[in-house]
Amino acid sequence: METSPQWNNQSNWNGKWAGAFYINTRQRNFGPKTGLGNRNFTRWTAQVNGSNRCSGPIGLTGVTGPQGPIGLTGATGPQGPIGLTGPAGPTGATGATGPQGPSGTNGTNGINGLDGKTVLNGTINPTTGIGNDGDFYINTTSNEIFGPKTAGVWGSGTSLVGPQGIAGVTGATGPQGPIGLTGATGPQGPIG
């Protein structure tokens, strides 16, 4: 029934005596119906929803519903902390040679060097006016060398030729040479 039972002086409002129960399928339960020991005076006792409510056994778990749609993309989170520096990688291969660079500017001139020394020569001994200090001079006739010239003076010459060596041992006789070619015929002699 979807309505509540009426309280009156009739014992069988819905054909039940005291001790009966009544269920309102929308609100709550009523009962047991009580009487005062007199058939003509009975009433329903309301039962509040709770432990006295009529309940069936818990039903089976329903089938899992379909996958819902993908939600909206959330807001970007804050920047995370910088990670630790990783280990050094291996040395890479040598790259190709780059193009020729432009020529550089000319450098400044260096200071002049000291005058070099000279080896002079002639067929006679050197005179004071020839050469500078530090030079040498060779007399190609006597095979003597003079120098180095010092304080404008040549000094005495030194022979480049050593003394005559002793005679060497006579060598062994060589082998007989081949016979020479026949010479041309001489001219006719005068008649005797």
148-174 confidence digits (pLDDT tens): 999 999 999 999 998 888 999 999 999
d(CA 37, CA 20): 15
3-state SS class at 35: strand
Residue 15 pLDDT class (50, 70, 90 cuts): very low
| 107-121 confidence digits (pLDDT tens) | 999 999 888 899 999
The encoded tokens of residue 37 equal 């020991």
pLDDT for 133 beyond 50: yes
Closest CA to 152 of 126, 122, 125, 188: 126
pLDDT for 37 beyond 60: no
d(CA 30, CA 15): 15
Sign of CA dihedral 133, 135, 139, 144: positive
**The whole model's pTM is what?**
0.33
Report yes or no: 145 and 133 within 8 Å, Cβ to Cβ: no
d(CA 73, CA 64): 25
pLDDT for 96 beyond 60: yes
Q: What percent of the chain has pLDDT over 70?
A: 71
